[in-house]
Structure 1
Amino acid sequence: MRIRALALATVLVLTASGCATSSFGDEPGKTLTVLTHYGSEPHKSGLKKLVDEWNRTHPEVQVKTQSVLYNELLQTVTARHASGQTPDIINAYSLWGGQLAAADVLDEPPTDVATDIRDEYSPAASEAVTVDDQVLGYPTEMQTYALIYNKKLLAKAGVTEPPKTWDELEDIAERTTVTDDSGNLDVAGFGLTTDFSDTAVVHPFASLLQAAGGRYMNADGSAAFDSKAGQRALSLQKQLVESGSADPGLNTIKAFPSNRVAMTINAGYWIGVLKGMMGDDYENVGVAPIPGPKAGDKGSLAYGFFTGVSSHSDQKDDAWEFLRWLNAEQAADGATRMGAFQFGAGSIPARVSDSEALTADDPNFEPFVQAMDYALPEPNPRGGQQMKTALQGSIQSVWTGDLSVAEALRSAAAEADATLNQD
């Protein structure tokens, strides 16, 4: 399809224009290592094409890649840093930024790189890779959240537009819910995601939290979600379950493409997944901002990954030059190699010019791109992962009726605050 062809064309144009070797790296036989979690398709082959291009046009400094599973990436980075065997370039989840900064894992970017990131990337992207006013590296893949809905299912229930308030969301969820003669759920009016990670549970809640005017974390690093806004957001999810419009046991990731879920909240990458899974039925997919309690309110959460240079690298200048080539050098259409690569793999480019160059063809991408301007960046303090894990369990306990909303948020906040600043 045209948007993927455009992304590929950008990579090819940049390949053709990158034939001149640079003046850095005069020592022969130099090699940079890059550690990522890109061990599966389409990221694996996409990154390989870029590295092959660099190696072909920069014989004085070669690049080789190493990949590990995502759930092994943080442990691998910290363990190798402790042993002095850190790769030159690290790809990391932005949530881990505070932990990596505290452990002095990352080199401070050159001034021109830091300025480029602050000026040319979306606010959500630049904030996600900043800890204590220090930029950590180039944002690569970014995701925001929006309301994804099935236009055909809404129309069947007499609904012509997606909800603009929580009351409308509850009403539409109830109207689109269908059960069989035995009371079993045939179509869920709203889909909760529970099936693959803490991200699937916490990020939609955090998006609703922001839509209600709440915050995920205070400036001092303590939990802020145990608030009136947090209670309203979690109560909304609880009400959807209790009304029968949502079922925590339903696999939304499989049910939505099968036209068995009317609405859900998910990240932008899922649009590419739905295109591949739904075929012609993809024309029934619509995307809108996540509404808040009253008309005009909206919320989203932004998260992503970044690439930085190891503080232990002996080739920092060469490593940053490679990252400039990958993330800042633009083709005639205004897109960078990283932007074209990530968009071709289904992610929203973090660089503003990349988003403008690559996402215009599919209107379903627009709400995700627009959310870059207002989305709450996922906080990246030292204990961010522990906070996220604690909140996941508490949210799901409300869905299953094991905890009240107040108990769940109080418990998660207490656990998060106890671990947030532990050494």
Structure 2
Amino acid sequence: MNSSLKRVRIPLALLSLAALTAACGGSDGGSGSVSEEVTVWMYPVIADPKANADYWQSLEKAYEKKYSDAKLTIEQQPWDNRDEKLATAFSGGKGPDVVVLQPDQIPQYLANGSLAPVDGAIKGHADKFLPTALEVLSSDGKAYGAPIYHTITTTLYNKKLLDRAGIKNPPATWDDIKAAAPKLKAAGLATLDYSASNEATLNLNFYPLLWQAGGRVFSEDGKSVAFNDDKGVAALTFLTDLYEQGAVPKTAMNNVNVLADQALGKQQVAMGFTNSGRDFAVAEEAWGKENVLVGAPLTGAKQAAFGVPGALGINAKGNKEGAEQFINFMTQPDQIKSLGQATGFLSPRTDVTVPSDSPHAKKLQDALAFVVPGESSPVARQLMGILAPEIQAALTGKKSPQQALDAAAERGDDLLARQR
């Protein structure tokens, strides 16, 4: 097979309108229908644009069939600049009634009074969610996001490349990676792919290594950063040592967590450590299914993986009663299962398993045991913009790992101090 990797359209299990309508017959915890219009801002959680649009259009019809007096409008929004657009809408007293949020967005919108609790919407089944999912979406005992799906990342290996280097057991720990690097280099290959671009989220590059080292981004009380302690230095040193040896490819500097564009996708590097089910499908198409191996999350001082609940939040200035009704509908087992089949994501509920014919489904499900759903802070997004260039400086040898992390920590602590 050609080693160059093309972008492929991943076939997704998209339920028909009839199936969605039938799914609406499950218990939803409510007996009435809210007649006011509810507007939802939805993002492309389904990879295929047409499938994404068709799914939500079908769900609109199914919802309005169940609640005959309700009017549901699901507006498709792009991922690009979503924070800026949502912040502008909220500050102007407008915006949607319901919006998809990730945990690290909640503190910033909660701080300016833009979000209302979702506890009423999940009353009666709040205990059915994964504890980590609901915990990271909560503040002061109230939930501000209702999980509707859960992502998880884990290791992805190219068996053909490991075989070429004579490596029988895929590297599962930091020590394994260090030991494998010289063998892969002798075979003309890099070991571990990484995304060091300023545009790449640290949740999919440095932070998992930090958590595997036993470290944290923020202190326990959230008043200072913690990534420049000895655990943070160990994580960055592990990375810079690999980069200096050529075990992390130089192309890492331009990577933005897109498998098709990276050395891993192009079969120039043997493994990645923050890959998703979508990546596995792309790799199978390009490498051949026989060459795709999926493992457990990497282990450093501890085992950890990034995964995040995708949640629905309520605009504090919107139609809260209608928003609660829609969220209650979306968090029921039938909708969780339906959305999971369409997106390829996992269930955020402990009593619901999304059916899957993927041979890697169990590996992903097992990885949830090690999930770290990010670290919430009003400055979480801004801090990434401060830390990413310093990691680049360490990788290129302009600064030592300690110097780079200390420089970012000084600015990060200043950023946090201005929030008080």
TM-score with structure 1 setting the length: 0.84
Q: For residue 170 of structure 1, report the CA deviation from its aligned partner.
A: 1.5
CA 290–206 in structure 1, closer or farther in 2 if over 3 Å, else same = same
Within the candidate set 281, 292, 317, 2:288 is matched to: 281
* CA distance in structure 1 between the partners assigned to 2:185 and 2:57 by the alignment: 45
* CA distance in structure 2 between the partners assigned to 1:12 and 1:267 by the alignment: 33
Q: Is the 8 A contact 1:271 1:346 kept in 2?
A: no
CA 114–228 in structure 1, closer or farther in 2 if over 3 Å, else same = farther
* CA distance in structure 2 between the partners assigned to 1:122 and 1:283 by the alignment: 33
Residue 236 (structure 1) aligns with: 238
CA 153–291 in structure 1, closer or farther in 2 if over 3 Å, else same = same
* CA distance in structure 2 between the partners assigned to 1:275 and 1:53 by the alignment: 35
Q: For residue 230 of structure 1, report the CA deviation from its aligned partner.
A: 1.0
Q: For residue 247 of structure 1, report the CA deviation from its aligned partner.
A: 1.7
Q: Does 1:35 pair with 2:44?
A: no
SS at match of 1:351: coil
CA 412–198 in structure 1, closer or farther in 2 if over 3 Å, else same = farther
Q: Is the 8 A contact 1:302 1:372 kept in 2?
A: yes
- Deviation sequence 1:303-342 (CA, Å, 0-9, x none): 34311111112x32222111111121x3xxxxx3244324
Residue 316 (structure 2) aligns with: 311
| Backbone CA RMSD of aligned residues | 2.9
Residue 416 (structure 1) aligns with: 412
Q: For residue 115 of structure 1, report the CA deviation from its aligned partner.
A: 6.1
SS at match of 2:272: strand
Residue 88 (structure 1) aligns with: 97
Unmatched 5+ residue regions in structure 2? 1-9
Q: Does 1:321 pair with 2:325?
A: yes
- Greater Cα offset, 125-134 or 266-275: 266-275
- Deviation sequence 1:41-61 (CA, Å, 0-9, x none): 243332222122212332310
Residue 45 (structure 1) aligns with: 54
Q: Is the 8 A contact 2:14 2:341 kept in 1?
A: no
CA 23–126 in structure 1, closer or farther in 2 if over 3 Å, else same = closer
Amino acid at match of 1:326: M
- Deviation sequence 1:284-318 (CA, Å, 0-9, x none): 11122233346xx31212334311111112x3222
CA 367–224 in structure 1, closer or farther in 2 if over 3 Å, else same = farther
CA 236–149 in structure 1, closer or farther in 2 if over 3 Å, else same = same
Residue 182 (structure 1) aligns with: none
* CA distance in structure 1 between the partners assigned to 2:147 and 2:389 by the alignment: 29
- Deviation sequence 1:252-300 (CA, Å, 0-9, x none): 723323322201122424435525742x613311122233346xx3121
* CA distance in structure 1 between the partners assigned to 2:15 and 2:41 by the alignment: 26
Q: Is the 8 A contact 2:107 2:377 kept in 1?
A: yes
Q: Does 1:62 pair with 2:71?
A: yes
CA 115–234 in structure 1, closer or farther in 2 if over 3 Å, else same = farther
Q: Is the 8 A contact 1:145 1:371 kept in 2?
A: yes
- Greater Cα offset, 107-116 or 10-19: 10-19
SS at match of 1:110: coil
Within the candidate set 119, 141, 153, 1:133 is matched to: 141
Within the candidate set 7, 16, 22, 1:16 is matched to: 22
SS at match of 2:191: coil
Q: For residue 370 of structure 1, report the CA deviation from its aligned partner.
A: 2.4
Q: For residue 89 of structure 1, report the CA deviation from its aligned partner.
A: 0.8
TM alignment of 1:169-188, pairs within 5 A? 169-177=177-185, 187-188=189-190
Within the candidate set 169, 177, 200, 1:198 is matched to: 200
Q: For residue 98 of structure 1, report the CA deviation from its aligned partner.
A: 0.5
Within the candidate set 347, 351, 354, 1:353 is matched to: 351
CA 12–372 in structure 1, closer or farther in 2 if over 3 Å, else same = farther
- Greater Cα offset, 390-399 or 361-370: 361-370
Unmatched 5+ residue regions in structure 1? 180-185, 331-335
Amino acid at match of 1:301: F
Q: Does 1:290 pair with 2:297?
A: yes
SS at match of 1:348: coil
Residue 342 (structure 2) aligns with: 344
